[in-house]
Amino acid sequence: MSLDPAVLLAVAREEALLGKSEGGVPIGAALFTVDGELLGRGHNRRVQDDDPSMHAETAAFRNAGRRPHYRDTVMVTTLSPCWFCSGLVRQFGIPHVVIGEAKTFSGGHDWLAENGVGITLLEDPECVALMTEFIERRPELWFEDIGEPR
Amino acid sequence: MSLDPAVLLAVAREEALLGKSEGGVPIGAALFTVDGELLGRGHNRRVQDDDPSMHAETAAFRNAGRRPHYRDTVMVTTLSPCWFCSGLVRQFGIPHVVIGEAKTFSGGHDWLAENGVGITLLEDPECVALMTEFIERRPELWFEDIGEPR
């Protein structure tokens, strides 16, 4: 991948901050072509739309609209994709995922790598800080978002 | 699970037929509690809403609304869940999946079983016929729905 992962991550981080400003789960994502064209961007909408199916990655994927295939795309997300979002990447054959951080939560990115998906893990301090603050402030919302009962 | 899988499947099949009548991908699903309460039902909405993120299972999950957890639920779907929908089941800890058929398409249900999810595979002739007819009639739409370029 010839794109600069930090440039892609900046878009996902903007989405995460937008989600935070709306009182939502602060995770953002975007889908680009390998040539750097933005296809769709989005953030978690559990709180905003009362919609548990709109994680950041599924929101970005939805906003990109219908495509015959995804072989020429890159997904960027501020946080390691959960199993739901990892399954999205695998099913639709998205060949590369850029991840902001996997320190506060680790989903299915190792499984994706084992299945041939390119993974770029940035461990971005701003992304780590955003999730650390959120999990401390709203643990019940966070654990709801990943389906883990307390 | 004490529920009758055939009774649950009848609801998912109704959803699949509704999707077919709308010109969409004929796959339906529903989320129930283990006591048989219907939480949400839905069908694939790729065509209807131009929304690639609404597979049958994600639509049923969305329509069930926000829940703190899913440990008391059963997902029923007319077709073996793709990786995206299998990831949904795993992430949210849905303990049991009832599947109409896995003859025309096999997704992640073996992986779910390996990870402790109960799987009931019915191989229902009506579900097989519905998908067989659809794949023959609209192959380009079917392969788009599972992200497989032709």
Predicted confidence at residue B57, as pLDDT, reads: 98
Length of chain B: 150
Query: How far apart, in whole angstroms, are the C-alpha atoms of residue A34 and residue A74?
Result: 6
Query: How far apart, in whole angstroms, are the C-alpha atoms of residue B102 and residue B119?
Result: 12
Strands in B38-43's sheet, in edge-to-edge order, are: B38-43, B28-33, B73-79, B96-101, B118-121
Predicted confidence at residue A149, as pLDDT, reads: 77
Query: How far apart, in whole angstroms, are the C-alpha atoms of residue A17 and residue B133?
Result: 46
Task: State which residues of chain A have pLDDT below 50.
Answer: none
Going from the C-alpha of B25 to that of each of A40, B12, B55, B145, the distances in angstroms are 23, 13, 9, 8
Predicted confidence at residue B111, as pLDDT, reads: 98
Q: Do B149 and A68 touch (CB under 8 A)?
A: yes
Angle between helices A56-63 and A5-21 (to 10 degrees): 110
Query: How far apart, in whole angstroms, are the C-alpha atoms of residue B28 and residue B78?
Result: 6
Angle between helices B56-63 and B5-21 (to 10 degrees): 110
Query: How far apart, in whole angstroms, are the C-alpha atoms of residue B116 and residue B95?
Result: 8
Task: State which residues of chain B have pLDDT below 50.
Answer: none
Predicted confidence at residue B1, as pLDDT, reads: 66
- Chain A residues with CB under 8 Å of a chain B CB are 46, 50-54, 58, 61-62, 64-71, 82-88, 90-93, 107-108, 140, 144, 146-149
Query: How far apart, in whole angstroms, are the C-alpha atoms of residue A126 and residue A129?
Result: 5
Q: Which residues of B touch A53 (CB under 8 A)?
A: 53, 58, 61-62, 88
Q: What is the tens place of the pLDDT at every residue in A77-87?
A: 999 999 999 99
Predicted confidence at residue A11, as pLDDT, reads: 98
DSSP, collapsed to helix, strand or coil, labels residue A138 as coil
Please confirm, yes or no, whether B57 is among the known catalytic residues.
Answer: yes
The pTM of this model reads: 0.97
Predicted confidence at residue A146, as pLDDT, reads: 96
Which residues, including other chains, have CB under 8 Å from residue B63's CB and lie 6 or more apart?
A: B31, B40, B41, B42
Q: What is the tens place of the pLDDT at every residue in B123-146?
A: 999 999 999 999 999 999 999 999
Q: Which residues of B touch A72 (CB under 8 A)?
A: none
Catalytic residue among A15, A57, A123, A140: A57
ipTM: 0.97
Q: B52 phi and psi, to 5 degrees? A: -70, -15
Query: Where in B14-139 does DSSP place strands (E)?
Result: 28-33, 38-43, 73-79, 96-101, 118-121
Query: How far apart, in whole angstroms, are the C-alpha atoms of residue A122 and residue B126?
Result: 48
Q: Encoding tokens for residue A140?
A: 């019940």
Q: Which residues of A touch B67 (CB under 8 A)?
A: 52, 144
Q: A148 phi and psi, to 5 degrees? A: -110, 105
